[in-house]
Chains A and B, each alone.
Chain A
Amino acid sequence: GAGVSQTPSNKVTEKGKYVELRCDPISGHTALYWYRQSLGQGPEFLIYFQGTGAADDSGLPNDRFFAVRPEGSVSTLKIQRTERGDSAVYLCASSLIPPDPRKTDTQYFGPGTRLTVL
C-alpha cells in the first residue's frame, strides 16, 4: 500500500518568504508527527496531531511555525518569514493509536521535504 508522502521534495525560498509543506499520511493512521532534521543531526520533534487537533506542539521553535490538519488526514506545516536557520529536512510520520496509551506503535516516515532558505 501507499506510504507517507510529502510534497514538495525540495523547496528553495528566499529569506523572509512564506512556505507550506504538505504531508499525506498512511490511510487510516490517526496520529501524525512532524520532525525537523538538520544536517548531521537526528530528527527533532516539532508537533503531534491526534485526529484534527494538535495534541503536543511543544517542539515548534517559535510562532513563525504553524501546522494544521483540518480533516484529520493531510497536514500542512507553515513557516512564516523564513530564516536561513530554518533550512533543514522536514519529516512527517504517521502511526495508528494503540488502545493502551502506555503502549507505542510504529511511526512510518515520509521521504521528507528539503527546505533551503537563501
Chain B
Amino acid sequence: GNSVTQMEGPVTLSEEAFLTINCTYTATGYPSLFWYVQYPGEGLQLLLKATKADDKGSNKGFEATYRKETTSFHLEKGSVQVSDSAVYFCALSAVTGGGNKLTFGTGTQLKVEL
C-alpha cells in the first residue's frame, strides 16, 4: 500500500538557518504530493503541492520538488523564522472512487529559536 516516511523531530533551528525536512514515499501509480502545516492551536493548512514528477511546489519561502527517481519530496526553506515553528506533514494522494484520499507521514515538529 501507499506510505510516507518523514524525518523524526523535533528539529530545532536558530532563526535564519536553512531548513530541510526529508520525505520519501511509496505508492503505486503517480500520486500527487503535499506538505501540510499545523501551527500551534490551529488546524491543518496546505503549504504546497506538486502533481507530477519534477514539479516544484512553493509557498511562503518554502519549496519542495517532486523527485520520482528517488521517490522524495523534501521540504526546504532558506531562512526560517520563529513564526515557522509548527508541525509539518508530508502527504500523498491516491485516487479513490473519483476522490483523493491522503496518506500522511507522522509529522515533523519544527522549533525555531531567536
On A, residues with C-beta under 8 Å from B are 31, 33, 35, 40-45, 48, 50, 55-56, 58-59, 91, 93, 95, 97, 101-112
Chain A residues with Cβ below 8 Å from B61 are none
On whether the beta carbons of A45 and B101 are closer than 8 Å, the reply is yes
On whether the beta carbons of A48 and B43 are closer than 8 Å, the reply is no
- Of B13-21, B63-71, B74-82, B87-95, the one contacting chain A is B87-95
On whether the beta carbons of B97 and A104 are closer than 8 Å, the reply is no
**Per a CB cutoff under 8 Å, which of A31, A44, A101, A110 touches B104?**
A44
B58 located at the interface, meaning its Cβ lies under 8 Å from any Cβ of chain A in the complex: no
On whether the beta carbons of B107 and A42 are closer than 8 Å, the reply is yes
B26 located at the interface, meaning its Cβ lies under 8 Å from any Cβ of chain A in the complex: no
Complexed CA–CA distance, A31 and B96 (Å): 11
Chain B residues with Cβ below 8 Å from A103 are 51
How many A-B pairs have beta carbons closer than 8 Å: the answer is 75
CB closest residue in chain B, given A108? B46
Chain A residues with Cβ below 8 Å from B100 are 31, 95, 104-105, 107
Interface majority SS (helix, strand, loop, mixed), chain B: strand
What are some 8 contacts across the A-B interface (CB < 8 A)?
Answer: A33-B99, A43-B102, A56-B97, A93-B102, A104-B100, A107-B46, A111-B42, A112-B43
On whether the beta carbons of A48 and B99 are closer than 8 Å, the reply is yes
Chain A residues with Cβ below 8 Å from B99 are 31, 33, 48, 50, 55-56, 95, 97
Further contacts, 10 of them, CB under 8 A, given A56-B97, A104-B51: A35-B102, A40-B106, A42-B91, A48-B99, A56-B96, A56-B101, A58-B96, A101-B95, A106-B46, A112-B43
CB closest residue in chain A, given B42? A111
On whether the beta carbons of B107 and A109 are closer than 8 Å, the reply is no
Complexed CA–CA distance, A63 and B49 (Å): 34
B27 located at the interface, meaning its Cβ lies under 8 Å from any Cβ of chain A in the complex: no
CB closest residue in chain A, given B93? A104
CB closest residue in chain B, given A55? B97
Complexed CA–CA distance, A115 and B24 (Å): 31
For residue A5, give the distance in angstroms from its CB to the closest CB of chain B. 10
CB closest residue in chain A, given B92? A104
